[in-house]
């Protein structure tokens, strides 16, 4: 599979088999992540791989609020969301926040060094470290797709960060941009419908 095929095959899938991904493959995926561009050339990124079931349950039961499909519909209505594809994605995804992370073949918490308050940036340059770690995460997702693995990211809510830090013993000075769940899709796994975008409509030559 070439890189374009891997990019095309990457899909958000939340219905994952409870089948552990071999650590050899996990290392390979993280190594691909570490090949991403880094704003300061230091790649000061670390990855907490939570494979122990009891540790994963402890983490998720203290951070994830389980919601029903009906509650998900109420949430997207409150958000004023009207696009059909977008609503479909959220209504399917919100009730699966716990299961998609708990059942995944691999749960990774990427961590990056952030010297200044992330949510109080002085300028766009203050967000360089945050931008770099997402390049790393995308590399991992594309590499995973090339291995027949799929998954999903979930950004922690504000109140979750200190709980994650405490349970996983993440040092101060490092931020956790997301939970990264990877795994083998279940046979009946729902593959999220994507918005159709025509590239020619998004390219503006010289001026918008």
Domain limits, the chain: 3-201
Of 101, 95, 93, the C-alpha closest to 61 is 101
What is the per-residue pLDDT across 144-202, written as a single tens digit (0 to 9) for each? 999 999 989 999 987 899 999 999 999 999 999 999 999 999 988 887 777 889 999 99
The model's confidence at residue 115, banded by pLDDT at 50, 70 and 90, is confident
DSSP conformational letter for 75 = H
Identify the CA nearest to 189 among candidates 74, 104, 84.
104
How many other CB atoms are found less than 10 A from the CB of residue 141? 23
Quick: pLDDT tens for 51-105. 999 999 999 999 999 999 999 999 999 999 999 999 999 999 999 999 999 999 9
By C-alpha distance, which of 45, 12, 17 is closest to 102? 17
Tally the C-alpha atoms within 13 A of residue 77's C-alpha that lie toward its C-beta.
Answer: 6
Check if CATH label 3.40.109.10 holds for domain 3-201.
yes
């Amino acid at each position: 599979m070439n890189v374009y095929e891997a990019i095309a095959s990457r899909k958000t899938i939340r219905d994952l088999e409870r089948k552990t991904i071999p650590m050899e493959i996990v290392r390979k995926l993280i190594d691909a992540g570490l090949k991403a561009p880094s704003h300061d050339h230091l790649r000061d990124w670390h990855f907490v791989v939570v494979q122990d079931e009891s540790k994963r349950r402890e983490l998720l039961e203290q951070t994830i609020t389980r919601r029903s499909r009906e509650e998900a519909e109420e949430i997207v209505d409150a958000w004023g969301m009207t696009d059909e594809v977008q609503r479909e994605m959220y209504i399917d995804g919100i009730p699966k926040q716990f299961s998609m992370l708990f059942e995944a073949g691999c749960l990774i918490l990427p961590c990056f060094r952030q010297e200044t308050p992330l949510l109080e940036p002085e300028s766009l340059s203050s967000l360089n470290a945050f931008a770099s770690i997402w390049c790393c995460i995308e590399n991992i997702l594309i590499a995973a797709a090339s291995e027949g693995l799929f998954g999903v990211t979930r950004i922690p809510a504000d109140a979750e960060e200190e709980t994650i830090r405490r349970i996983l013993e993440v040092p101060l000075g490092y931020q956790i941009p997301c939970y990264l769940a990877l795994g083998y899709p279940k046979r009946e796994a729902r593959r999220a419908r994507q918005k159709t975008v025509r590239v020619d409509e998004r390219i503006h030559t010289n001026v918008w």
